A and B are shown apart, each in its own frame.
Chain A
């Protein structure tokens, strides 16, 4: 199985900050990498697929980059509704595997 390591596991940030979350794969996944946002008590929501493609309806303050083994999710100008847990997912190889999550909290 491909292991997905997210860092940091949690972070504190202020409204208006720029936040970067990293996801590293134990082996190359090409660009088959997705990002999700999950708020407490809710289902995850798709943000990014194919490493850098924005899901329809997702604001452009979210952006993704990377290929191979190293990927980043950037949130520019953090807003109150962005405080949540973020997960990466590789879908290049079976089984599909998620990162452990990054909890973004209010400073």
Chain B
């Protein structure tokens, strides 16, 4: 059974960098799409971007200039950094595992989510 767990600071100051790590168990990082998705409190879902197993990344244009995603296959971890955060970046951040190259990026497995608040 695939399990994902997000970890990282729950509070980030404005203009600083948000960093989250997703630890994957029960599956290998290789061969799948790995998405980050966020949800501001009381609002809908926003796709941030994905990393594909061969290092291919696609980011949401609305966040592209501030986002970096990477994978550490030795630790089976998937990471997100978001720079120059503002209050608008306050959200629950989910890491998700998508399908393979045939099925596509749609998230099949989700972490429990990590609430990150941006405040001084």
Contact = CB atoms under 8 A, between A and B. Distances in A.
Interface string A11-54: 00000000000000000000010101000001111100110000
B15 interface: no
Interface of A: 1, 32, 34, 36, 42-46, 49-50, 55, 87, 89, 91, 94-101
Classify the secondary structure of A's interface with B: loop
Contact of A97 (B47, B49, B58): B47
B58 A49 contact: no
B74 interface: no
B46 A46 contact: no
A89 B106 CA distance: 8
A98 B45 contact: yes
A98 to B, nearest CB: 4
Given A44-B45, A49-B103, A101-B44, A95 B110 contact: no
A53 to B, nearest CB: 9
A36 to B, nearest CB: 8
Contacts of B8: none
A45 B49 CA distance: 18
B40 interface: no
Nearest to A98: B45
A62 to B, nearest CB: 15
